[in-house]
Amino acid sequence: DWLSLTAGGRFIDYRTRDRNRVAFVSESRDLRYTFARLSKGGQLLPGWYKEWYPDAQGNYTYDSLRATPYGDSTLGQSYDFDGFIPDPRGANGFYTKQIPTAWGYKPAIRRSGHGFAPYAEARFNLDQDMFFYVKYAQGWKMPSLFESTLGNSTSAPVADLKPEKNRSWDIGFSLLKQDLWRDGDRLAFKVAWFKNDIDNAITRRFDSSNWAFYVDNVDNYTVSGYELQSGYDAGIAYLDLSASYYQRARTCDAATAKRLREDPYAKWSKLDTTPDCVDGGFGTSFVNAQNPPKYSIHSTLGFRLFDRRLDTGIRRTYNSGPTHELDKPWNTTGSTGLQNIYLPTAIYDFYARWQFTPKAEVELVVSNLRNTYYMDTLAMSLMPGPGRTTRLNVTARF
């Protein structure tokens, strides 16, 4: 048949519950306060003036100064002092702040949802070994425990976190030929274009109004590119070659872009021209540390000798620099989750496996044969990749 059609789908239902609750200020009152410079034995203590709250009658006394909490804490004063100087600004040295008087707790986060993810493929057969194909699939990714629960020290989830919806396209050509140039040989070849569109992608965002981090949805995250897989196996020798090329890795979110453009310091920090769609992600987004290499090439050349008892060869892995250098103001705002710029690298590995008997074999693998200093692509830290590493395995079956 010249045409093959495949279709299917999967229904997904999920429910999550977090026992932690978020506290909030339910009542507060205005408090008028000033500052005092502390001293000990007649010597002024170094540092800034200390906040000075009044007592219950509204008077600023030595006892009320000692009772004033240190900073925003409730642990009391930790300075050892026996004297003080009032704020020399007099009436101009008084300020007002909101002091919490009662706290409440928001309900624990509960989430649930469901969705249907269809799949369809059309295959156009040129013969039994060659065909063109078009694949379309949808997928749902529900918020993970890391993303949907409270407890992370650097970010908090939002209450209405939505599941991700992925729409993927895969269009390509595939070939698999047997006995092409000699008996028993095999030629495989596949080239394809792919695109993943993720609506409501879950990532981290930064809110400059309160310097807080939130795990939230963005409108869309898109990745697209090309991939190649090929190989020829002649029995005594074989060659594999695969490659990938990324066209784009981009985030779109109108709300985040608007927030950055309207920041009070947007013009000074050059955020006033933030576009709705940016390469990589906005500041503090997890995707900034996961920007794939523009292109990668993986190749293997191997030999089978001594009646195929010895299988040995060399692997080469080449990675270019990242698809995008994320150095724009909208990529770096928040000062964390920044991209690690990795350099192009070529890593060589050697392997050999000798089979003594049908039940015993020894394997030698030398990774990073040239002991190259490099950083892994998509690395979350500046820790370099492993240097030359030798591994010897002996396997026996009884």
SS (H, E, C) the chain: CCEEEEEEEEEEEEEEECCCCCEEEEEEEEEEEEEEEEEECCEECCCCCEEECCCCCCCCCHHHHHHCCCCCCCCCCCCCCCEEEECCCHHHHCEEEEEEEEEEECCCCEEEEEEEEEEEEEEEECCCCEEEEEEEEEEEECCCHHHHCCCCCCCEECCCCCCEEEEEEEEEEEEEEECCCCCCCEEEEEEEEEEEEEEEEEEEEEECCCCEEEEEEEEEEEEEEEEEEEEEECCCEEEEEEEEEEEEEEEECHHHHHHHHCCCCCCCCCCCCCCCEEECCCCCCHHHHHCCECEEEEEEEEEEECCCCEEEEEEEEEECCECCCCCCHHHHCCCCCCCCCCCCEEEEEEEEEEEEECCEEEEEEEECCCCCCCCCCCCCCCCCCCCCEEEEEEEECC
Residue 78 pLDDT exceeds 70? no
**Is 264 inside a domain boundary?**
yes
The encoded tokens of residue 239 equal: 């060659």
**CA 76/CA 99 separation, integer angstroms:** 15
Task: Determine, yes or no, domain membership for 392.
Answer: yes
Query: Dihedral through CA 257, CA 261, CA 266, CA 270, nearest 10?
Result: 70
- Residue 331 has φ and ψ, to the nearest 5°, of -85, -25
Give the integer Cα–Cα distance in Å for 38 and 154.
Answer: 35
Is position 117 within any domain?
yes
Q: How confident is the model at residue 367 (pLDDT cuts 50, 70, 90)?
A: very high
Point out the domain boundary residue: 86, 105, 124.
Answer: 105
Share of residues in the chain with pLDDT > 90 (%): 48
Per-residue pLDDT for 70 more than 70?
no
| Model pTM score | 0.74
Structural domain for 39, as ranges: 23-105
Read off the tokens for 99. 């002091």
* Region of poorest pLDDT, from 13-22, 73-82, 115-124, 190-199: 73-82
Last residue of a domain, one of 52, 82, 105: 105
Q: Which of the pair, 171 or 207, is modelled with greater confidence?
A: 171
The verdict on residue 145 lying in a domain is: yes
Using CA atoms, how far apart are residues 208 and 329, in angstroms rounded to an integer?
Answer: 13
Q: Do residues 252 and 119 share a domain?
A: yes
Are residues 142 and 59 both part of a single domain?
no
Cα pseudo-dihedral 27, 33, 36, 38, rounded to 10: -20
| pLDDT for the residue 139 | 92
Q: Is residue 61 in some structural domain?
A: yes
Q: Do 153 and 72 share a structural domain?
A: no
| 170 & 101 share domain | no
Same domain membership, residue 84 and residue 53: yes
Which residues are CB-neighbours of 245 under 8 A, at least 6 positions away? 225, 226, 227, 294, 295
Q: Assign 73 a pLDDT band (cuts: 50, 70, 90).
A: very low
Supply φ then ψ for residue 276, to 5 degrees: -70, -30
Query: Which residue carries 């979350």 as its tokens?
Result: 380
Domains in the chain, number: 2
Same domain, 195 and 340: yes
Which two three-digit tokens encode residue 381? 């830290």
pLDDT at residue 156 tops 70: no
**Domain membership flag for residue 5:** no
pLDDT in tens, 113-124: 888 899 999 999
Q: Are residues 99 and 114 in the same domain?
A: no
Final residue of a domain: which of 60, 82, 105? 105
Confidence of residue 374 (pLDDT cuts 50, 70, 90): very high
- 3 state SS for 310-327: EEEEEEEEEECCECCCCC
- 219-276: per-residue pLDDT in tens? 999 999 999 999 999 999 999 999 999 999 999 999 999 999 988 888 888 999 999 9
Query: What whole-number distance in Å separates Cα of residue 299 and Cα of residue 371?
Result: 18
Please check whether residues 95 and 171 belong to one and the same domain: no
- Check if the beta carbon of residue 315 is closer than 8 Å to that of residue 240: no
Segment 207-217, tens digit of pLDDT: 877 777 888 89
Q: Give residue 77's pLDDT.
A: 46
CB 319 within 8 A of CB 377: yes
Q: Examine residue 16 and state whether it is found in any structural domain, yes or no.
A: no
**What's the confidence (pLDDT) of residue 349?**
98
328 and 252 both lie in a single domain: yes
121: domain CATH number is 2.40.170.20
Asked if 149 contacts 18 with a C-beta cutoff of 8 angstroms, the reply is yes
Residue 10 lies in a domain: no
Same structural domain, 90 and 115: no
Residues 121 and 93 in one domain: no
Q: Which of 318, 226, 312, 332 is nearest to 271 (CA)?
A: 332
Could you give the maximum distance between any two Cα atoms of the chain, in Å? 101
Q: Are both 89 and 176 inside the same structural domain?
A: no
